[in-house]
Structure 1
Amino acid sequence: MYRADEPWEERTCSVCLAELADGEAVRVLMPCLHYFHPACVEWWLRKSATCPLCRALTVAAAAKGGQAAGAGRPS
C-alpha cells in the first residue's frame, strides 16, 4: 500500500505515468523493489518478464529459467 508520508523513491506508476494516491494498492516487483499500480504492471508482465522501470528480471521469471516474453525467437 502506497503511503505518501513514507520516503518512496517514485511517486508515479511508470507504466501509466499517473501519480500514486495515498493508501492506494501497489504491486512491488522483486528483486528491484519498484512499485506500480497492480493492473498496470500485470499488463506489462504479460508482455515482458522484466521490470518496466529498470528492466531487471523479475523473481518469477528467474525461477522459470529467465525466459522473457519473446525470448528465444530468432532475430
Structure 2
Amino acid sequence: MWHRNLRTMRRTEPGIASVPWRRSSYSGANGNCVEVALSANGHVAVRDSKQPGRRTRFQAREAWQCFVSGVCSGEFGG
C-alpha cells in the first residue's frame, strides 16, 4: 500500500516560496484542494490551497508517485 512508503519530511526547504505551485484540475470552486510543487531538492511539496502560508509537507518523489498511482487505481474508493 502507498501509505507505508509515504514519509513526511522537513517542513521547509530553501527556495520553496519561489517555485511554481500547481492546483488539481479537479478542484472545485469551493476551494477544497491541495497544491503541489517540485522543490529544488527534488521532493514533492504539498500544501492546502486555502492556507498556503501554513505547514507544507514534503514527500520523496517515489512516495508521491505511489500515492498518485493509488488514487488512479481507485485504492481510496473513488
TM-score range, shorter chain: under 0.3
Higher strand share: 2
Indicate the structure (1 or 2) with the bigger Cα radius of gyration: 1
Task: Give the TM-score taking structure 2 as reference length.
Answer: 0.26
